Homo-oligomer: A and B are copies of this chain.
Amino acid sequence: MTNDLKESFSGSDGAPPAPAALAAKVRTLAPSMTRSMQRVAEAVAGDPAGCAALTVTGLAELTGTSEATVVRTARLLGYPGYRDLRLALAGLAAQQQSGRAPAVTADIAVDDPIADVVAKLAYDEQQTLADTAAALDTVQLGAAVGVLAGARRIDIYGVGASSLVGQDLAQKLLRIGLIAHAHTDPHLAVTNAVQLRSGDAAVAITHSGSTGDVIEPLRVAFDHGATTIAITGRPDGPISQYADHILTTSTARESELRPAAMSSRTSQLLVVDCLFIGIAQRTYETAAPALSASYEALAHRHNPRTR
C-alpha cells in the first residue's frame, strides 16, 4: 500500500484541485511543508490576488526562494503545476472580491466582552465548516460511505476530543440499524480489532494523524483485512499508511484561548454527519424505518406535557 502513501503526499486526492478550498488546504498541509515551501504557501494564502499576477520567477523572488520550490509547493497543494495554482489563485481572488471579505476575525482576547466571544466563535466555526466542505474529497467520501453501508461490522477509534466524535458516529449508525461500536480504551480497541476481517470496517478519528493510541488499532484492523477509513487533519500523517480511505478535516488557526481541538471537532462532526447522511441514503429502505422506530422508542421518555 505504498501507493496510498505516495498519493496522499503529492496530488493526494486524485480529485481536481479545489477553488475556494485553497486557504484551508494551505493550513492543512503547512505542517508537512519545508520552510521554503511554507514561505511560498504563506504568500499565496495571504495575497491570492497579488500572487496571481506573478510568474513563477516573480513569486520565487518575492518569497526569496527558487522556481523549483514554487512548483513543488503548487504540486503539494494538489495542482499539476504552478500554472494551475495560478489559475486557482485568480479564481480565489475574484471570489474574495465579490464576497467582500467580512471584517477579519481577530483572535479572541482575554478581555473581549462576552458578546464578542460569541460572535467570533460563531464566525470561526462557520469558517471551519466552509473550509471543510470545500476541501472534502467527495470521491473518498463516497467510497467511505459505500464501505460503511455494506460493512458487516464497524469499529470506531478515537481518544480525547475525537472520542466524542467517534461516539457520535456510532450512535448515528446504530440508529439506522448498522452494527457500530466506538472504542475509547486503546487496549480494548486493539483487542477487538483482532476480530475484524474482510467485510468489516474500521474508522479512526484523529486530528493530528499521529495519535499512537488510535493508529495501533487501525493498523491491526488493516492487517486483518478490514477496510479502514481515517478521518484526520493530517492526511500525510502516519495514520494514512493504514487507511484505505482518507477523509481530511480542515485545520483552523488556533490561539491561546482557542485550542485546536475546538475547530477540529467542528470539522470532524461535519464529516461524520456527511458520512451518516450518505449511508442513510444508500440504505434508505432499512434506515428510514429504523430512524422512526428509534424516535418512537424515545417518545415516552419526554414529559408529555411539552405543549
Which residue numbers of A lie inside 8 Å of B, CB to CB? Answer: 19-20, 31-32, 52, 86-88, 90-95, 97-99, 108, 110-112, 114-115, 117-119, 121-122, 125-126, 129-130, 132-133, 136, 138, 141-142, 145, 160-161, 164, 167-168, 171, 208-213, 215, 234, 236-238, 256-259, 262, 265-266, 269-270, 273-274, 277-278, 280-281, 284, 288, 291, 295, 298, 301-303, 305-307
Asked if A133 contacts B118 (CB within 8 A), the reply is yes
From B98, B118, B234, B298, A99 is in contact (CB under 8 Å) with: B98
Asked if A210 contacts B306 (CB within 8 A), the reply is yes
List, in ascending order, chain B residues with CB within 8 A of A303's CB: 210-212, 215, 237-238
From B19, B52, B121, B302, A274 is in contact (CB under 8 Å) with: B121
**Across the A-B interface, the 7 shortest Cβ-Cβ residue pairs:** A91-B94, A122-B133, A210-B303, A87-B90, A90-B90, A210-B306, A210-B302
A98–B258 Cα gap in the complex (Å)? 30
List, in ascending order, chain B residues with CB within 8 A of A115's CB: 138
Residue of B nearest to A143 (CB): B114
Min CB–CB distance A171 → chain B (angstroms): 7
Asked if B118 contacts A136 (CB within 8 A), the reply is yes
Min CB–CB distance A72 → chain B (angstroms): 16
From B20, B91, B110, B280, A90 is in contact (CB under 8 Å) with: B91
Question: What number of copies of this chain does the assembly contain?
Answer: 2
21 A-B pairs with CB atoms under 8 Å apart are A19-B94, A20-B98, A32-B307, A87-B87, A87-B90, A91-B93, A91-B97, A94-B94, A95-B95, A98-B99, A111-B281, A114-B145, A118-B136, A122-B130, A160-B171, A160-B298, A164-B167, A209-B306, A212-B302, A213-B301, A256-B291
List, in ascending order, chain B residues with CB within 8 A of A97's CB: 19, 91
List, in ascending order, chain B residues with CB within 8 A of A112's CB: 281
Min CB–CB distance A105 → chain B (angstroms): 13
List, in ascending order, chain B residues with CB within 8 A of A168's CB: 161, 164, 265
Min CB–CB distance A216 → chain B (angstroms): 10
Min CB–CB distance A110 → chain B (angstroms): 5
A121–B278 Cα gap in the complex (Å)? 11
Asked if A114 contacts B215 (CB within 8 A), the reply is no
